[in-house]
Structure 1
């Protein structure tokens, strides 16, 4: 009989394409994992993996079978979550993904409220870029992800809880730093520094400013964090744009910096939870949605 353990091991190998790493991730010996997979292939009468001393490949038929196995494992998870639905909504652990331009600024605002009201709640956070988190949600590797919208996430449900605008950050010596607002046409694009490609914040800024993607080639210096950009602004290497949520933490102790509201039609980005359509812990998600909204309003 095929077991859930066998399917779990097979999916681990598919993810890592490495038997030793898969065994470590599953907290079993490599021999135990290999034995279980050999038995699975024997029961199915199908070879799932091609392996030699250098690499592991998933066979074409194996790829189809593992896709079905993934669906089965997700349904089992949903069944377990449904069985626990009579308990406190946050009485069961939750794995949440969050992007780097939200995590460091949202978590300090919401974690105190969560810890105070639900001290037993176990929250596991994964920080990654948007495309990685969307794939992890689809594959059932995490419960939900907090992303900035708009972002391509067809087939997933979104639970929006916040909207915000961008602020232009410049050194106090900049002649425009004393303005209350600034339009995108007033920005010096040659000195505007943005995050490197792959960060959705860059795309949202270009969209809010109506800048052409082709014009953005000189907008960045390979920075991967807002903190790095702020330090570059402080060093008078240029200016940048940051979301309202991050302002307090980024420039509160930087007397040399000024923040000016970007006067383009907003909101410039929307913050939401993303989940699979059949996700069973919607009540817990809605509770977190409310907690996040209240914490951000109070801040």
Structure 2
């Protein structure tokens, strides 16, 4: 009979495509992992992996087995977490994914309060782009993810806790009129720099402006900090979310920020979880704390 241990080993090999690295992930010796998987394949009657001294490949029938194994592992993990729902809120570790256009701006606002109110809570943060984080939520690698909506989240639950508008950032010498707001029409002839493809903020900015992608300059920049430095260097202008304003502009007196006047909110912030996630009490506690701290920072 195939064991949960063998399933865990097999999924680790699929992830790493390397037996030694998979063994390290599972905290066992390579020989122990290899022996367990060989026995598993003997019981199955087919090879899950093809391996030689250089690489590991998943066989077609092996992929079918691994897809089902992921579902089994996920259900086992959820069963194990049932006991956590009986304990105090935020008394067990959580792995939370956060996208790069939220992570560095929200954490300084919420972590001090989180540490004060839940000093024994282990809050593990993974910073990644939206698509990767959703895959990790679906596979059970992380408990939840904090994303900016609108973004496709089929098959998952979303719990919105914040909304905000975008601000146009320009150098003071290239600023528009004295108004505190700017329209999308006014930005049409401006050199607008946005993050590279894959960052949801790019699509949200284009959508808020009703602008086609070719109207904006898509850079290889992966952070808002880089875009701000380019604005300081008078390369162009950019759009950033409200929560990032204080951190990005505090030491940049030569920059000006104007709220994008197009109907908002331009993005909504939400926790995303699997439908059968068992620790919704933890999500509710985090949402309440995050919302409170963000409200105080506005």
Specify whether residues 254 and 238 from structure 1 end up closer, same or farther in structure 2 by C-alpha distance, changes over 3 A only: same
Q: Determine helix, strand or coil for the equivalent of 2:86.
A: coil
Moved over 4 A (4+): none
Q: Which residue of 2 aligns with 1:298?
A: 296
Cα distance change, pair 36–177 in 1 and its aligned pair in 2 (3 A): farther
State the shift of 1:48 in Å.
Answer: 0.8
Aligned counterpart in structure 2 of residue 244 of structure 1, from 223, 242, 246: 242
- Deviation (angstroms), 1:190: 4.8
Aligned to 2:115: 115
**Corresponding residue number in structure 2 for 1:184:** 184
C-alpha RMSD over aligned residues: 1.2
Cα distance in 1 for residues equivalent to 2:137 and 2:219? 31
Whether 1:224 and 2:209 are equivalent positions in the alignment is: no
- 2:11 maps to which residue? 11
Structure 1 pair 211–46 and aligned structure 2 pair: CA distance change class (3 A): same
Paired residue total: 297
Q: Distance in 2 between matches of 1:265 and 1:72?
A: 45
How far apart in 2 are the matches of 1:141 and 1:171?
42
Structure 2: 5+ residue stretches without partners: none
Q: CA–CA distance in 2 between the matches of 1:209 and 1:277?
A: 33
Q: Which moved more, 1:178-187 or 1:243-252?
A: 178-187
Give the match for residue 24 of structure 2: 24
CA shift at 1:189, angstroms? 4.5
Tell me which residue corresponds to 2:149. Answer: 149
Rounded to whole Å, the distance in 1 between the matches of 2:282 and 2:120 is 14
Deviation at 1:235, TM superposition (A): 1.2
Instruction: Give the unaligned 5+ runs of structure 1.
Output: none
| 8 A Cα contact 1:171 1:177, kept in partner | no
- For 1:1-299, what aligned pairs fall within 5 Å after superposition? 1-176=1-176, 178-216=178-216, 219-299=217-297
TM-score when normalising by structure 2: 0.97
Which range moves more in the overlay, 138-147 or 71-80?
71-80
State the secondary structure of the residue aligned to 1:284: helix
